[in-house]
Amino acid sequence: MNKLALDRHGWLKAHPNARRAPSPNYDARPAGDDAILLVMHNISLPPGQFGGIEIVDFFQNRLDYSAHPWLERLRGMTVSAHFLVRRDGCIVQFVSTCKRAWHAGVSTFEGRARCNDFSIGIEMEGTDCLPYAPAQYQALTGLLPALRARHPIRAARGHEHIAPGRKTDPGPFFDWERFGRDNQWLRRQLPPL
């Protein structure tokens, strides 16, 4: 199988395990900023349900709020991430890695606020209370070399680490040790365990 790679505009090149679903929820990074941080998240819509169209529709501002009572609380929100890794390992890209996706919100990394300015956001289809699928870790192992070849990423954190007390994802079931081992991160590049 061909490897994942980014084009010069920050989009994944055609690949059988990846697709584009462009989101309007992005803007330019501040001048001189590039992605140095990878931020891991989780999402399921409605909570605990996997495989539906709701996540893609949410990031594209097309969510049918009447499809489930819980979804109404998302009305008016405009958010995105660069990528979604589905339970089956398929990758959906919403925003060019050269642009600022709206995933981190109020956040801080190494004393610097506004992590969206200098990060790439990856949503794992999942919840804080269930293990992630092996196919998702395999997909990350395919995606991260492409990201690191294009951007000077030097650290990875969970949303919970850059927005403590406000966010809890990717949660206790995200296997940081496996993530680090599989993707050749140094211990200091990962959150404290």
Any idea where the domains of the chain sit in the sequence? 18-187
Three-state SS at 29: coil
Catalytic residues: 123
What confidence tier does 193 reach under pLDDT thresholds 50, 70, 90? confident
* Tokens found for residue 65: 């709020």
Distance, CA of 151 to CA of 138 (rounded, Å): 20
pLDDT at residue 2 above 90?
Answer: no
Q: What is the mean pLDDT of residues 7-34?
A: 97
pLDDT band, residue 27 (cuts 50/70/90): very high
pLDDT of 100 strictly over 90 = yes
Share of the chain above pLDDT 90, in %: 97
100 near 28, Cβ under 8 Å?
Answer: yes
CA distance 52 to 187: 35
For the domain made up of 18-187, the CATH class stated in words is alpha beta
Does pLDDT of 85 surpass 90? yes
Rounded mean pLDDT of 74-95?
Answer: 98
Q: Where residue 174 falls among pLDDT bands split at 50, 70, 90?
A: very high
DSSP string, 152-182: ---EEEEHHHHSBTTB-TT-TTS-HHHHHHH
Give the chain's mean pLDDT. 97
Sign, CA torsion 91/97/102/104: positive
Tokens matching residue 142: 């395919």
pLDDT band at 21 (very low <50, low <70, confident <90, very high): very high
Reference 68, options 46, 44, 47; nearest CA is 46
